[in-house]
């Protein structure tokens, strides 16, 4: 690329900023996805600048070869990035180059030609019912303040009893809870809403926390609050569960999302059908829900193997 072309071409940093603004304003992507995409695309632009020997600009995307992209993927792999994260990075780059093309910036066909890294489909690891009960009891027994224990117990009960994502649970307001009765309206990914049944045990835990919390929550306030009164953040909830699992000796894979897996897996093993579970989880595609049939089969095989040891 000549110096004249570099001068006329928009800078990559400016393009990344504009792309981020576009994603937040026009696309139904979660804040987490946007943040991850921006990190991946920024990492590529930084790599490209070093790879080319000059600050990367929009015009550079037209002249790239597959080997350039493979060099980036290899560098990321050498940094210890997992195959799943590499595929996400490739998805981010394709998304970014689609945006470039929408601005009439030429893009090399190498971006669509490069195949993703192979990944092994990992099965979700559900948390046993007894272990969930132990986590909830530990939350009640070990909290420094009574209302915090009731909050943590309510959140864990909600996650396990409804299959909500942690972001969905923490976005609920007092009004959402109080108007739910036996059916909770949840806003999921892409702003899509779904109704999730509330078991009496879940309702009791939520009401128990609401009565104990010391803040005068208004109807529009977030239902779950931090120790100082602000909305409870996902990182705080994850840290809370990490402390509880360590206290009772559970493995690191016991996370808020594992409780969602447990809800689906236990529902399926109890006779629930995939379509219903898909609706309850808010999965856009049935294929996302079908992984739980493998989980259930794996559990059955484990029981069979234990009962019929080979001698």
Tens-binned pLDDT, residue by residue, of the chain (311 aa): 344 444 445 677 888 888 988 888 776 667 788 888 899 889 988 988 888 888 887 788 888 888 888 888 888 888 887 777 888 888 888 888 888 888 888 888 887 776 655 545 555 577 888 899 999 999 999 999 999 999 999 999 999 888 888 989 999 999 999 888 788 888 877 777 888 888 888 999 999 999 999 998 999 999 999 999 999 999 999 999 999 999 999 888 888 888 887 877 766 656 665 566 666 666 555 555 555 555 444 444 444 444 444 43
Question: Measuring CA to CA, how many Å separate 163 from each of 125, 184, 214?
Answer: 14, 12, 27
Domain 3-113 class, CATH top level: mainly alpha
The closest alpha carbon to 176, from 146, 191, 198, belongs to 198
Q: Which CATH architecture has domain 129-307?
A: Orthogonal Bundle (1.10)
**Structural domain boundaries in the chain:** 3-113, 129-307
How far apart CA 96 and CA 121 sit, in angstroms, is 26
Query: Which residues are known catalytic residues?
Result: 165, 189, 257, 260, 283, 292
């Amino acid at each position: 690329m000549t110096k004249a072309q570099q001068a006329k071409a928009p800078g990559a940093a400016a393009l990344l900023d504009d792309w981020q603004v576009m994603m937040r304003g026009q696309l139904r992507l979660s804040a987490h996805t946007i943040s991850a995409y921006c990190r991946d695309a920024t990492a590529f632009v930084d790599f490209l600048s070093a790879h080319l020997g000059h600050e990367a600009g929009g015009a550079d995307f037209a002249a790239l070869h597959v080997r350039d992209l493979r060099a980036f993927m290899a560098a990321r792999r050498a940094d210890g990035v997992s195959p799943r994260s590499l595929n996400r990075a490739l998805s981010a780059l394709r998304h970014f180059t689609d945006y470039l093309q929408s601005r009439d910036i030429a893009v090399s066909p190498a971006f669509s030609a490069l195949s993703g890294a192979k990944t092994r489909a990992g099965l979700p690891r559900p948390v046993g019912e007894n272990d969930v009960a132990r986590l909830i009891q530990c939350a009640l027994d070990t909290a420094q303040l009574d209302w915090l224990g009731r909050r943590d117990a309510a959140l864990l009960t909600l996650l396990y009893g409804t299959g909500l994502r942690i972001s969905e649970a923490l976005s609920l307001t007092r009004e959402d809870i109080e108007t739910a009765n036996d059916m909770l309206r949840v806003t999921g990914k892409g702003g899509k809403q779904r109704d999730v049944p509330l078991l009496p045990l879940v309702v009791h835990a939520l009401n128990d926390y609401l009565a104990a919390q010391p803040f005068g929550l208004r109807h529009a306030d977030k239902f779950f609050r931090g120790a100082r009164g602000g909305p409870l953040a996902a990182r705080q909830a994850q840290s809370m569960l990490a402390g509880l699992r360590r206290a009772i000796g559970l493995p690191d894979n016991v996370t808020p999302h594992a409780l969602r897996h447990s809800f689906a897996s236990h529902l399926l093993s109890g006779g629930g059908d995939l379509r219903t579970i898909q609706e309850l989880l808010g999965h856009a595609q049935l294929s996302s829900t079908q992984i739980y049939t493998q989980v259930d089969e794996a559990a059955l095989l484990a029981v069979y193997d234990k009962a019929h040891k080979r001698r």
